[in-house]
Amino acid sequence: MPKVAATLPYFDFFPELKAEFETAYPGTKFAQPGPMMQGDALVEFLEGAEVAVIGLNRFTDEVCAALPDLKIVSLCSAGVDHIDPAILNKYGIKMWWTAGINKISVSELAVCYMVFIIRRVHFFASVLKASQWKGPMGFGGDLRGRTVGIHGVGNIGKEVVKLLQPYGVQILACDREDYSDFYGQFDNVEKVEPDELWARSDVLTIHLSKNSSTIGMYTGEVMDKMKPGSILINAARGNLVDEDALAERLKSGHIAGAGFDVFAVEPANDNPLIGLDNFFASPHIGATTLESWAAMLASGIHGIKNAYVPEPGVFPFD
């Protein structure tokens, strides 16, 4: 029986799942609530463990070198941008990961943001909270009838397409992969290239993986190509959008509003974007539902017996 350690403190929220875990792997060591362990703290917690069931912990060269017993890293996270497959291979460590495991929760949040931002719910709620409701405060708008661009039509992007069907919108779908078979199921989905996506979208939602081809993709120059008065949503990953450039365009009104669940630096408590009236923010809650976390934790347990050798340059490491 392998020695197992779980580095994320969420199993206590799912007692039945934790009991199953402990029955299958007696003596499993569980992390207590606190900051995400990295570096020396991670090494200390995992000392002697052969299996690590993890969240967003980073397994650097130094960490792996200090954990000679470690053979398996099983991810509960929905992304893998914190994992370097070359380092794992160097130390003979296998991994497990389930793509799209939180797709329902993230796609629902993205569509929720579309409605919230167009209706200016964040602004109106702040007025009421400050006891400043004294009369007409302007207008929001309807999502119906608008053009929604989806940049990244993988697991989450496809769910966004499905959820938008009752809203009566035109959808522009942009991805480096050819998902024509999927698009063909709908009368309101049009496949476009990035420049057309930016120019025509009233609402643009990002659902790209974070990798060498997407980090920093949304520069000021790209945002200048976006339709004036459009809305930008990012519930994917931080560092895909130049936040300083976005702030400038929110202030100028070129981008009418934005909603972000992810940031370049997290926690993002001091991010200046958050103070803007036309910016709606949440603290990386895309997958923070009971349903998503139950699925992700169960996947982490499943991966102990099903881990594989990761291949650099092969999805999702591209």
Helix (H) or strand (E) holding 75: strand 72-75
CB of 93 closer than 8 Å to CB of 72 = yes
Q: Is the dihedral of CA 256, 259, 263, 269 positive or negative?
A: positive
Residues annotated as catalytic (active site), given as ranges: 237, 266, 284
Nearest by Cα to 107 from 70, 50, 75, 152: 152
Give the span between the Cα atoms of 235 and 229, in whole angstroms.
20
- Can you list the alpha helix ranges (DSSP code H) found in the chain? 15-24, 39-46, 61-65, 85-90, 103-118, 121-129, 155-164, 180-183, 194-200, 220-225, 243-252, 290-306
Give the span between the Cα atoms of 6 and 131, in whole angstroms.
46
CA distances for 231 relative to 148, 151, 226, 283, angstroms:
9, 13, 9, 19
